[in-house]
A and B are shown apart, each in its own frame.
Chain A
Amino acid sequence: MATTRILEWLGRFYVVLLLGFLYLPIIIMAAMSFNASPFYQLPFEWTTDWYASLWQNEQLIAATWNSIEIAVITTLISTVLGSMASLAFYRHEFRGKKVLQALLFPPIAIPWLITGTAMLIFFFGVGIGRGLVAILLGHVALALPYVIVVVSARLQTFAPELEEAARSLGANQWQVTMRVTLPWIMPGVIAGGLFAFAVSFDQFVVSYFLSTPGQTTLPVEIYAAIRKGFTPEINAVSTIIIAVSMALMLLTARFFKFGGEK
Chain B
Amino acid sequence: MAGVQVANVSRSFGAHKALDDVSIDFADGGFYALLGPSGSGKTTLLRQIAGFDFPDAGRIAIGGESVERVPVEKRRIGMVFQNYALFPNMSVADNVAFGLSVRGEPKATIATEVQRALDLVQLGKLGGRKPHQLSGGQRQRVALARAIVTKPRVLLLDEPLGALDKALRVDMQIELKRIQREIGITTIFVTHDQEEALTMSDRIGILRDGRLVQEGPPEEIYDRPQSEFAATFLGDANIFRGDATGSGIRLPDGTTIAASTGASVPAGAKASCAVRPERIRISTGAAKPDAGNANTLKGQVSRRIFAGNNSTYFVDRDGQTLKVIVQNTGAERLAEGQPVVLSWSPDSTVLIAA
Q: How large is the interface on A (under 10, 10 to 19, 20 to 34, 35 or more residues)?
A: 10 to 19
Q: Are B98 and A162 in contact (CB under 8 A)?
A: no
CA distance A183 to B156 in the complex (A): 27
Give residues 152-191 of A contacting B (CB, 8 Å). 159, 161-162, 164-172, 175, 179-180, 183-184
Cβ distance B219 to chain A, nearest Cβ, rounded Å: 32
CA distance A172 to B88 in the complex (A): 19
Q: Are A180 and B72 in contact (CB under 8 A)?
A: no
Q: Are A262 and B50 in contact (CB under 8 A)?
A: no
Flag A222-241 by CB within 8 Å of B: 1 or 0 each: 00000000000000000000
Give residues 140-160 of B contacting A (CB, 8 Å). 146-147, 150, 156
Cβ distance B49 to chain A, nearest Cβ, rounded Å: 11
Known contacts A165-B87, A183-B89; is-contact A172 B73 (Cβ 8 Å):
yes
CA distance A180 to B132 in the complex (A): 16
Q: B87's contact among A166, A167, A172, by CB below 8 Å, is which?
A: A166
Cβ distance B341 to chain A, nearest Cβ, rounded Å: 55
Q: Which residues of A contact B303 (CB under 8 A)?
A: none
Flag B103-114 by CB within 8 Å of A: 1 or 0 each: 100000000000
Q: Which residues of B contact A165 (CB under 8 A)?
A: 79, 81, 85-87, 146
CA distance A175 to B102 in the complex (A): 7
Q: Which residues of A contact B147 (CB under 8 A)?
A: 168-169
Q: Which residues of A contact B73 (CB under 8 A)?
A: 167-172
Give residues 227-249 of B contacting A (CB, 8 Å). none
Q: Are B85 and A169 in contact (CB under 8 A)?
A: no
Q: Are A168 and B79 in contact (CB under 8 A)?
A: yes
CA distance A161 to B150 in the complex (A): 19
Q: A164's contact among B85, B89, B102, by CB below 8 Å, is which?
A: B85
Q: Which residues of B contact A167 (CB under 8 A)?
A: 52, 71-73
CA distance A165 to B88 in the complex (A): 12
Q: Is B258 an interface residue (CB 8 A)?
A: no
Chain B's closest residue to A182 (CB) is B89
Q: Are B81 and A169 in contact (CB under 8 A)?
A: no
Q: Which residues of B contact A159 (CB under 8 A)?
A: 83, 85
Q: A171's contact among B50, B81, B98, by CB below 8 Å, is which?
A: B98
CA distance A162 to B102 in the complex (A): 15
CA distance A162 to B95 in the complex (A): 11
Residue tally, chain B, CB below 8 Å to A: 26
CA distance A165 to B89 in the complex (A): 14
Q: Is B205 an interface residue (CB 8 A)?
A: no
Q: Are A169 and B99 in contact (CB under 8 A)?
A: yes
Chain B's closest residue to A160 (CB) is B85
Known contacts A183-B89, A262-B132; is-contact A170 B81 (Cβ 8 Å):
no
Chain A's closest residue to B47 (CB) is A164
Q: Which residues of B contact A161 (CB under 8 A)?
A: 81, 83, 85
Known contacts A164-B52, A184-B88, A262-B132; is-contact A169 B102 (Cβ 8 Å):
yes
Q: Are A170 and B83 in contact (CB under 8 A)?
A: no
Flag A178-213 by CB within 8 Å of B: 1 or 0 each: 011001100000000000000000000000000000
Q: Are A169 and B98 in contact (CB under 8 A)?
A: yes
Output the residue of A180, A184, A262 with the most chain B CB within 10 A: A180
Cβ distance B87 to chain A, nearest Cβ, rounded Å: 6
Q: Which residues of A contact B146 (CB under 8 A)?
A: 165, 169
Cβ distance B242 to chain A, nearest Cβ, rounded Å: 49
Cβ distance B98 to chain A, nearest Cβ, rounded Å: 5
CA distance A179 to B86 in the complex (A): 13
Chain B's closest residue to A174 (CB) is B102
Q: Is B78 an interface residue (CB 8 A)?
A: yes
Q: Which residues of B contact A171 (CB under 8 A)?
A: 73, 98-99, 102
Give residues 95-143 of B contacting A (CB, 8 Å). 98-99, 102-103, 132
Give residues 52-83 of B contacting A (CB, 8 Å). 52, 71-74, 76-79, 81, 83
CA distance A120 to B79 in the complex (A): 55
Q: Which residues of A contact B98 (CB under 8 A)?
A: 166, 169, 171, 179
Chain A's closest residue to B78 (CB) is A168
Chain A's closest residue to B50 (CB) is A168
Chain A's closest residue to B74 (CB) is A170
Chain B's closest residue to A166 (CB) is B98
Q: Are B150 and A170 in contact (CB under 8 A)?
A: yes
Cβ distance B160 to chain A, nearest Cβ, rounded Å: 12
Q: Are B83 and A179 in contact (CB under 8 A)?
A: no
Chain A's closest residue to B158 (CB) is A161
Cβ distance B45 to chain A, nearest Cβ, rounded Å: 16
CA distance A123 to B93 in the complex (A): 54
Cβ distance B289 to chain A, nearest Cβ, rounded Å: 56
Q: A179's contact among B72, B74, B102, by CB below 8 Å, is which?
A: B102
CA distance A159 to B150 in the complex (A): 23
Q: Which residues of B contact A180 (CB under 8 A)?
A: 87, 89
Q: Which residues of B contact A183 (CB under 8 A)?
A: 89
Q: Which residues of B contact A184 (CB under 8 A)?
A: 88-89
Q: B77's contact among A162, A166, A168, A262, by CB below 8 Å, is which?
A: A168
Cβ distance A234 to chain B, nearest Cβ, rounded Å: 46
CA distance A169 to B77 in the complex (A): 7
Known contacts A161-B81, A164-B52, A175-B102; is-contact A169 B150 (Cβ 8 Å):
yes
Give residues 217-262 of A contacting B (CB, 8 Å). 262
Q: List 17 A-B contacts (CB under 8 A).
A: A159-B83, A161-B81, A164-B52, A165-B85, A166-B87, A168-B73, A168-B77, A168-B147, A169-B78, A169-B98, A170-B74, A170-B76, A170-B102, A171-B98, A175-B102, A179-B98, A180-B89
9 closest cross-chain pairs (CB), A and B: A169-B99, A161-B85, A165-B85, A168-B79, A183-B89, A171-B102, A167-B73, A167-B72, A175-B102
